[in-house]
Amino acid sequence: MGKKRDGKRKSGDGSRSRAATRVEASAVESPRAKERPRPLDAWLKLLRAAESLKSSLATRLAPHKLTLGQFAVLEATLHCGPLCQRDLAQKLQVSGGNVTTIVDNLERRGLVRRERSTRDRRYIAVHLSERGRHLIKEVFPEQAAAIRRDMSVLRGKRLDRLARYCKELGVSLTGE
């Protein structure tokens, strides 16, 4: 170590220590982080929180050999009844092609079946099979309880506010 100057120790070659450089660099970066546009900052936090929640759910669905999309289709048909693929895509906010793949895979496993309407042969509804109904009735309560635990950091009015803000944002973007 070098000599003390003004009560501070200086490194022997006259350069600053790495720790001092890091502290100064973080001091320089902090104002920039604070200058990040509030909408971008909020969007990043919302995205990260949603991804964390989705990852947690996906991990819990893996033992049931279900993807997030498959779970969503099974849940929607359980709670809404038979739906056509277009309505499923709209409800789940995914493409029609994505829903087709999800339903194909669920149908292959015997969890759903497609039924063509007798009134309009163009309309094909996705129905839960008995096996699919049994699986989603077993899995849904477990997942709902786990989601409540995941969200337990927010309670009461804070959770209500988050739900209201998310809905407000979604409606402003989709008009629905």
pLDDT of residue 174: 81
Mean pLDDT for 59-69 is 96
The per-residue pLDDT for 105 is 97
- The average confidence (pLDDT) of the chain is 84
Give the pLDDT band (50/70/90) at residue 37: confident
Extract the tokens encoding 49.
């929180």
Total number of domains in the chain:
1
| Residue 151 within a domain | yes
Task: Give the Cα separation of 127 and 133 in Å (integer).
Answer: 9
**Is residue 7 one of the residues assigned to a domain?**
no
Distance CA 17, CA 24 (A): 11
pLDDT digits (tens, 9 = 90+) for 73-116: 999 999 999 999 999 999 998 999 999 999 999 999 999 999 99
Range of the domain at 82: 66-176
Is the CB of residue 125 less than 8 Å from the CB of residue 163? no
Is the pLDDT at 31 greater than 80? The verdict is: no
Count CA atoms closer than 13 A to 108's CA, side-chain side: 9
In a domain, 11, yes or no: no
CATH code where residue 151 lies: 1.10.10.10
Cβ atoms of 131 and 110 within 8 Å: the answer is: yes
